[in-house]
Amino acid sequence: MTSVTMSPDIHAAITAVGHYLPETRLTNQDLMKLVDTTDEWIKSRTGIEERRILTGEKKGVSYMAAHAAQEILDKRGIQADEIDVIIVATVTADMSFPATACLVQAEIGATNAWGFDLSAACTGFLFALNTGAGIIESGRASKVLVIGSDKMSSITDYTDRKTCVLFGDAAAGVLLEPDANNNGIIDSELRMDGHGWEALCMLGGGSLHPATHDTVDQKMHYIQQDGQTVFKVAVKGMADVAVEIMERNHLTSDDIRFLVPHQANQRIIDAVARRMKLDPDRIMLNISRYGNTTAATIPLCLHDWELDLNEGDNLVLAAFGGGFTWGATYLRWAYDSVEAKHSDPSLIDAQQVL
Ligand code: ACO
């Protein structure tokens, strides 16, 4: 890991975005063959039309995360050995240990990196982004990969209509680098409340309930969710922190180019946007195509909208997830497009600040 000395006005900026989407699609029509549901119910209650499912025997979360990481390296035009830290946000790691970050490190050849996994369910990417930003701001690293990757199909019960319609598989992530032009991550409000853990969890497979025949028979290795409880807390939690971030940074709705919300339910997103007084064209929304990909949703939005973003655009990222965990981050986008970025001298090359 390289060590750099930072002045206090250095922010951690996103300088590249990458993603991986499995090819196999699971549509609402497909799910109608598995459980008692309808396309109309799923679309009207969640906004989801289809999701991607990772198939293939030796493919877990690290497979998707490594592909996303490689796309980031290619787009930024850097080598894997330049990466200092790899943080993977996930609740569906390949194994309990080693960390998925180790497997990604080996796969891409990031020979100078250290790293770890971060578990915060659907808020995982936001917590990981802020953790990575803190490492950059401390001066202890100049290139941090932050990847959200989840293979939700591996913990979804496809006989439970209340959960199986919601989730999909994907990975996406960003590269964080120091920026001295007042772009990057400016402010965050991050929260958790463990009292709500039972409303959204997977009980089996950990140290409390190690895997046994009984835990399998009781379906304890699948997601369990009290949807209504989570819905109510999510709307309030996400909206509260998003509005707080706006007020604290004197942002009006006109100042915000995009809300980048976790994609769990379109009705939650619409409610948050209403509290922020944002028009629909200021909301990144791709839930119809991918469903809820847990830690991948926010960077997947950044990937899908990347070419619409310009340097200086104000974004508010907001998420809510199991734990409960939730938060909002205010950042200023640091580059105009993939092409323009590579010739943009305002982004600090790590070598210049060594
Ligand atoms: N098809 C048809 N009917 C269904 C389906 C389905 N797929 N699922 C549930 N229903 C039925 C229920 O059985 C119930 O029927 P009943 O009234 O006869 O009992 C009825 O629809 C209403 O069920 P609710 O659970 O109240 O439905 P709701 O409108 O709350 O929608 C949903 C459910 C979509 C899960 C919603 O509650 C939600 O989005 N919750 C929040 C999810 C979330 O944000 N999670 C956090 C992130 S995830 C993470 O961290 C891993």
Note the pLDDT tens digit of each residue in 100-154. 999 999 999 999 999 999 999 999 999 999 999 999 999 999 999 999 999 999 9
How large is the average pLDDT for residues 186-198?
A: 98
Contacting residues for 187 by C-beta, under 8 A, at least 6 apart = 245, 248, 249, 329, 330
What confidence score (pLDDT) does residue 337 get?
A: 73
Bridge partners of 95? none
Q: What is the 43 CA–ligand 1 centroid distance (Å)?
A: 12
Q: Which parts of 155-296 fold into alpha helices (H)?
A: 161-164, 213-217, 227-248, 266-275, 287-290
Q: From CA 177, how far away is CA 16, in angstroms rounded? A: 9
230 lines ligand 1 (CB under 6 A): yes
* Integer Cα distance of 115 and 138 in angstroms: 16
Task: Work out the pLDDT band at 57, boundaries 50, 70, 90.
Answer: confident
Pairs from 202-206 (Cβ < 8 Å, separation ≥ 24): 202/91, 202/155, 205/96
Checking if the pLDDT of 354 tops 80, the result is no
Quickly state the pLDDT bin for 86 (edges 50, 70, 90): very high
Collapsing DSSP states into helix, strand and coil, what is residue 284? coil
pTM (2 d.p.): 0.93
Alpha-carbon torsion, ordered 122, 128, 130, 131, to 10 deg: 150
263: Cβ below 6 Å to ligand 1?
no
Q: What pLDDT, in 10s, does the model give residues 220-257?
A: 999 999 999 999 999 999 999 999 999 999 999 999 99
pLDDT for 109 equals 98
Q: Which of 262, 226, 227, 223 is nearest to 242 (CA)?
A: 262
How much distance in Å is there from the Cα of 19 to the middle of ligand 1? 28
Are the C-beta atoms of 318 and 242 separated by less than 8 Å? yes
Q: Print the SS3 string covering 219-249.
A: CCCCCEECHHHHHHHHHHHHHHHHHHHHHHC
Check residue 70 and give its pLDDT: 98
* CA-angle at 225, arms to 304 and 283, nearest 5°: 25
Which amino acid is it at 230? Answer: V
Q: Which atom of ligand 1 is nearest to the CA of 31?
A: 7
pLDDT reading at 353 higher than 90: no
pLDDT band at 346 (very low <50, low <70, confident <90, very high): very low
- Is 322 near ligand 1, meaning CB less than 6 Å away? yes
Q: Which residues are catalytic?
A: 122, 262, 292
Whole-number Å distance between alpha carbons of 286 and 300: 9
How many angstroms is it from 277 CA to the middle of ligand 1? Answer: 26
Residue 200 Cβ < 6 Å to ligand 1: yes
The string of pLDDT tens digits covering residues 154-175 is 999 999 999 999 999 999 999 9
What pLDDT score was predicted for residue 9? 80
Residue 162 Cα, ligand 1 centroid: separation in angstroms?
Answer: 5
pLDDT, the chain, mean: 93
The confidence score (pLDDT) of residue 7 equals 53
Q: Which of 122, 161, 203, 231 to mutate to test the pocket of ligand 1 (most atoms within 8 A of CB)?
A: 231
**Per-residue model confidence (pLDDT) at position 8:** 55
Q: What is the mean pLDDT of residues 20-26?
A: 98
CB contact at 8 A, 112 and 173: no
What pLDDT is recorded for position 130? 98
Closest CA to 19 of 257, 263, 311, 306: 306
116 ligand 1 Cβ < 6 A: no
Query: pLDDT tens-digit profile of 174-190?
Result: 999 999 999 999 999 99
| 339 band by pLDDT with thresholds 50, 70 and 90 | low
Nearest CA to 167 out of 127, 223, 221 is that of 223
What distances in angstroms separate CA 341 from CA 101, 298, 303, 309, one per listed residue?
Answer: 27, 21, 15, 11
CA distances from 132 to 13, 136, 323 (A): 10, 6, 21
The CB of 224 under 6 Å from ligand 1? The reply is: no
Give backbone dihedrals phi and psi of 219, rounded to 5 degrees, phi first: 55, 40
Ligand 1 site-directed mutation target among 162, 192, 235, 236, most atoms within 8 Å of CB: 162
Find out whether the beta carbon of 161 lies less than 6 Å from any atom of ligand 1: yes
Mapping DSSP to helix (H, G, I), strand (E, B) and coil, where does residue 51 land?
A: strand
Burial of 354 per CB tally in 10 Å (0-12, 13-18, 19+): exposed
Average of per-residue pLDDT across 76-101: 98
The answer to which of 9-13, 58-62, 275-279, 344-348 has the lowest mean pLDDT is 344-348
